[in-house]
């Protein structure tokens, strides 16, 4: 019997990516406390430099509080286009050198080097790639190398910034043992508090606990956390492909020239696709609009966009593309929207200009959609449109219904369960969200209009 070779996995993370790119554009920011986010006090911190973190500043913190903690902090407006450009540059370098890699977010990569040590040392090879990334892009990064994704990621976080760490085969458990349980991927603030209430502070303690106890307390996630604490992780590196996409198309029963109707449908499609991206914690950097005329002539137009999964960023671009594309004044039989060039990521990646209220608005709307269906909350322009929630060719359902059917629970990048959102019907609602019980007489489709 031929045994499969032991894995060699590298995790590479671009250090303070947004800040690093901002410093490339403006070297005067070097060595100073930098906060990337919205310019107004209502905005939130998207990223901050290590100098700013010393003052207690962190991602998702209100800009107003960040200024109070560090009055000398330099607030920098996020440059979407440049972040996307620099992320693509790093991706191209890795694509050119690595046979199997996964782009898990705009600034984070996993690489499977299994078997490459037969020709040269994997650690030496990874170190050379690390230097190449910095030399050609100007971006600092850190990497960890071990037998699996979990230990490599922990090693990366352990040695930041601008450093690297190799965890030798067989030493994974001992390496993790003295660390705080908060270092384990999947352990966010809530899970950490649960473990602390159980008297667990260090990974060593968790390693000694029976796995059945973790299952009783945290369910199957508890089992996964216990395995990670013991350096066990069989998850594969998922090959990255920019061709991955989500899309929606609708063919009309009767061809139409009603531009208002066409735009309203495109807006509804985009809204549903953005929801699907958020449910799957994905971001898109390319949007495509498709139209098919009554004579079956089909035309598409696309544009690159900063990585996003938010309706209010995508919808204006979709409308612009449609206006450029529809120029023949002929009847249309089909319209479609596609989001492609997908990577992993959550709300925080594209909210430089968005306030806490906007973030809460999305969280509240998505919570209602998970509970009551995709149409529980929608724009007024989309009322009356019912899009297919399944692919007729493969039977796979999309959106919230699809996630439920696949028994998936959408999670943030850290995999920490979301905080509970205000229940419908109570007075103390999220800012800007008008909540109405689905099925009420005043709303025939059970929708909240915003």
Residues 252, 399 within the same domain: yes
Of 181, 201, 229, at which residue does a domain stop? Answer: 229
3-state DSSP assignment of residue 86: helix
Q: Which value, to the nearest 10 degrees, does the dihedral of the CA atoms of residues 251, 257, 261, 263 take?
A: 90
Q: What angle do CA 345, 275, 272 make, to 5 degrees?
A: 140
- What pTM value is reported for the model? 0.67
What's the mean pLDDT when you consider all of the chain?
Answer: 81
- Per the structure, the count of domains in the chain is 2
Residue with tokens 């390319």: 286
One domain for residues 139 and 212: yes
Q: Which two tokens stand for residue 336?
A: 């479609």
Element spanning 137, H or E: helix 122-137
Question: What integer is the mean pLDDT of 220-238?
Answer: 95
Residue 234 lies in a domain: no
pLDDT band of 262, cuts 50, 70, 90: very high
For residue 235, being part of any structural domain is answered with no
Q: Are residues 192 and 266 in the same domain?
A: no
* Catalytic residue status for 271: no
> What is the domain extent for residue 349?
245-449
Q: Is 342 part of any domain? A: yes
pLDDT, tens digit, for every residue of 6-17? 899 999 999 999
Q: Are residues 261 and 114 in the same domain?
A: no
Does one domain contain both 395 and 251? yes
What is the domain-level CATH number for residue 414? 3.30.1490.100
Nearest to 183 by CA among 161, 212, 150: 150
Choosing from 108, 172, 271, 430, the catalytic residue is 108
421-450 pLDDT tens trace: 333 333 333 333 333 333 333 333 333 334
338-387 residue pLDDT tens = 999 888 766 544 445 556 677 777 778 778 777 777 677 776 666 555 55
Residue 437 is assigned to a structural domain of this protein: yes
Q: Are 413 and 291 contained in the same domain?
A: yes
Q: Domain containing 114 — which CATH number?
A: 1.10.150.20
pLDDT at residue 37 in the model: 83
CA distances from 439 to 61, 305, 376, 446, 450 (A): 37, 37, 9, 5, 17
Rounded Cα gap, residues 386 and 393, in angstroms: 19
Give the mean pLDDT of 312-334: 91
Task: Tell me, yes or no, whether 30 lies in a domain.
Answer: no
- pLDDT per residue over 156-173, tens digit each? 999 999 999 999 999 999
Mean per-residue pLDDT, 242-260: 85
Same domain, 298 and 384: yes
Q: What is the pLDDT of residues 391-416, one digit of tens each?
A: 433 334 455 444 443 444 433 333 34
Whether 426 and 388 map to the same domain: the answer is: yes
Supply the pLDDT for residue 195: 94
pLDDT of residue 433: 37
Q: How many helices (H) and strands (E) are present in the chain, helices listed first?
A: 14, 14
Q: Is residue 104 part of a domain?
A: no
Q: Do the domain assignments include residue 131?
A: yes
Determine the 3-state secondary structure of 184 from DSSP.
coil
Q: What is the mean pLDDT of residues 131-156?
A: 97
- Per-residue pLDDT, 59: 86
Q: Is the pLDDT score of 154 beyond 70? A: yes
Lowest model confidence (mean pLDDT) among 29-43, 99-113, 409-423: 409-423
162 in any annotated domain: yes
* Lowest mean pLDDT, pick from 51-65, 78-92, 182-196, 416-430: 416-430
CB of 416 closer than 8 Å to CB of 188: yes
Which range (90-99, 124-133, 413-422) has the least confidence? 413-422
What is the Cα–Cα distance from 268 to 381, expressed in whole angstroms?
A: 8
- Say yes or no: 279 and 371 in one domain: yes
Tell me which of 198, 229, 260 is where a domain ends: 229
Looking at residue 384, what is its pLDDT? Answer: 57
Q: Is the pLDDT of residue 80 over 60?
A: yes
Same domain, 160 and 249: no
Q: Say whether pLDDT at 83 is over 50.
A: yes
Q: Using the 3D structure, point to which of 200, 229, 258 is the last residue of a domain.
A: 229
pLDDT band at 39 (very low <50, low <70, confident <90, very high): low
The dihedrals phi and psi of 168, each to the nearest 5 degrees, come to -65, 145
- Proportion of the chain above pLDDT 90, given as a percent: 55
Question: Residues 204, 125: one domain?
Answer: yes
Query: Percentage of the chain surpassing pLDDT 70?
Result: 78
Q: How far is CA 412 from CA 38, 353, 384, in A?
A: 22, 20, 31
Residues 276 and 172 in one domain: no
288-314 pLDDT per residue, tens = 999 999 988 999 999 998 888 888 889
């Amino acid at each position: 019997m031929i045994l499969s070779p032991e894995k060699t996995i590298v995790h590479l993370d671009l250090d303070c990516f947004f800040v690093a790119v901002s410093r490339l554009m403006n070297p005067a920011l070097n060595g100073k406390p930098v906060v990337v986010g919205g310019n107004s006090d209502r905005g939130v911190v998207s990223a901050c430099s290590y100098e700013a973190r010393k003052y207690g500043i962190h991602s998702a913190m209100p800009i107003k509080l960040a200024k109070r903690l560090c009055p000398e902090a330099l607030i920098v407006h996020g440059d979407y286009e440049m972040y996307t450009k620099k992320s693509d540059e790093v991706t191209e370098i890795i694509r050119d050198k690595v046979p199997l890699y996964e782009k898990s977010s705009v600034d984070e990569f996993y690489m499977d080097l299994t078997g490459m040590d037969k020709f040269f040392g994997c650690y030496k090879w990874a170190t050379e790639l690390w230097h190449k990334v910095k030399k050609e892009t100007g971006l600092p990064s850190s990497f960890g190398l071990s037998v699996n994704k979990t230990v490599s990621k922990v090693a990366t976080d352990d040695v930041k910034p601008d450093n690297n760490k190799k965890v030798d085969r067989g030493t994974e458990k001992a390496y993790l043992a003295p660390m705080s349980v908060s270092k384990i991927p999947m352990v966010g603030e809530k899970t950490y508090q649960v473990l602390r209430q159980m008297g667990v502070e260090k990974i060593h303690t968790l390693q000694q606990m029976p796995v059945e106890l973790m299952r009783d307390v945290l369910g199957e996630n508890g089992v996964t956390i216990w395995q990670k604490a013991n350096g066990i992780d069989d998850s594969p590196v998922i090959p990255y492909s920019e061709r991955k996409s989500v899309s929606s198309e609708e063919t009309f029963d009767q061809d139409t020239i009603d531009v208002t109707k066409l735009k309203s449908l495109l807006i509804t499609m985009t809204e549903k696709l953005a929801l699907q991206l958020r449910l799957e914690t994905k971001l898109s950097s390319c949007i495509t609009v498709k139209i098919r005329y009554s004579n079956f002539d089909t035309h598409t137009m696309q544009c690159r966009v900063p990585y996003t999964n938010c309706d209010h960023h995508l919808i204006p671009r979709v409308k612009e593309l449609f206006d450029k594309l529809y120029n023949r004044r002929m009847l249309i039989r089909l319209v479609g929207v596609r989001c492609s060039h997908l990577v992993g990521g959550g709300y925080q990646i594209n909210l430089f200009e968005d306030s806490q209220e906007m973030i809460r608005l999305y969280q509240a709307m998505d919570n209602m959609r998970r509970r009551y269906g995709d149409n529980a909350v929608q724009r007024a322009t989309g009322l009356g449109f019912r899009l297919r929630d399944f692919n007729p060719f493969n039977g796979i359902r999309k959106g919230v219904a699809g996630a439920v059917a696949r028994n998936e629970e959408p999670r943030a990048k850290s995999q920490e369960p979301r905080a509970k959102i205000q229940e419908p019907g109570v007075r103390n609602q999220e800012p800007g969200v008008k909540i109405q019980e689905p099925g009420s007489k005043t709303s025939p489709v059970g929708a909240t209009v915003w």
